[in-house]
A = this chain, B = another copy of it.
Amino acid sequence: MSSESPKRLLFRQFAAVAKAVAHEHRLELLEALAQGERRVEILANRTGMSVANTSQHLQLMRRAGLIESRREGKFTFYRLSGPAVLDLLAALILIGERHVGEVDKIVRTYFLSRDELEPISRSELRKRIKGGDVQVIDVRPQDEFASGHLPNAINIPLEELEAQLAMLDTKKEIVAYCRGAYCVLSFDMVERLRARGFKARRLEDGWPEWQAAGLPVMVCGQGSRAGT
């Protein structure tokens, strides 16, 4: 009587995939990995978990097929196993936004409302970049910027805004972006820029989605990096 329906067996596997995303910290790890491949220790720092704990979570996700790893010398690099993982996260976020009251409440409490921020879409931003009438600011840390960013974007992490203010053209509109839909960085940046009288908006999503959409990108030192 141990034989079970194949459908049941398959569902068990799919449930295992879902279980692997069903944890606060693992979602945070996936968000970090959506920026590009990363070492265990870096991920541990980012999420504030112990290295051992981080390692276990990563292995769990690897077993579930969400991520893959590569060994290079002493280091193990992890990366997303494919674009379907981003789809999974997007679906999760969409359901949260539409149908979970808590999400709405948190967004209202901590972020400017989405309408006030007038987010700009990927396709619209692309046109305006071509037109050259917009300044694009990448709010992520320097290392993430270096491993890939939007064309003509300049890198200004939040804490460097003061130092880089002079770089900005007060006439041109600014569009800020960071890691993704719920990365706080670009929200903060837009607020601060507006407080200083700039015309600033947010990209509606972030770097991983831009990249996944196959839009043009720049890597490393090729693009313009602000300051220093």
Give me the interface of A with B, judged by CB distance under 8 Å: 5-19, 21-24, 26-28, 31, 64-66, 68, 81-82, 84-85, 87-96, 98-100, 102-103, 106-107, 109-111, 182-184
Q: Assess whether A182 is in contact with B100, with CB atoms less than 8 Å apart.
A: no
Partner of A23, one of B5, B15, B107: B15
Question: Roughly how many angstroms separate A85 CA and B94 CA in the complex, as a whole number?
Answer: 9
Query: What are 9 pairs between A and B in contact, CB < 8 Å?
Result: A7-B182, A11-B28, A11-B182, A13-B96, A14-B92, A15-B22, A19-B19, A65-B96, A87-B87
Given that A11-B27, A91-B88 are known contacts, is A82 also in contact with B99, CB under 8 Å in the complex? yes
Q: A11-B28, A13-B103 are in contact. List 7 more A-B contacts (CB 8 A).
A: A7-B183, A8-B28, A10-B182, A13-B106, A15-B26, A18-B92, A82-B95
- Taking a contact as CB atoms under 8 Å apart, the answer to whether A100 and B17 are in contact is yes
B95 touches A84 (CB 8 A): yes
Contact B15 A184 (CB under 8 A): no
The distance from the CB of A15 to the nearest CB of chain B, in whole angstroms, is 5
A111 to B10, CA, bound (A): 12
| Residue ID in chain B nearest A181 by CB atoms | B10
- Docked pose: A98 CA to B109 CA in angstroms: 39
Give the dominant DSSP class at A's interface. helix
Q: Which residues of B contact A94 (CB under 8 A)?
A: 84, 87
Known: A88-B92, A106-B10, A183-B7. A66 touches B99 (CB 8 A): yes
Check if B182 sits within 8 Å of A65, measured CB to CB: no
Given contacts A23-B15, A94-B84, A96-B17, whether A10 and B103 have CB atoms under 8 Å apart is yes
Taking the closest CB of chain B, its distance from the CB of A16, in whole angstroms, is 8
B7–A24 CB distance below 8 A? no
Partner of A110, one of B6, B93, B103: B6
| Given A18-B21, A84-B91, A88-B91, A96:B6 Cβ within 8 A | no
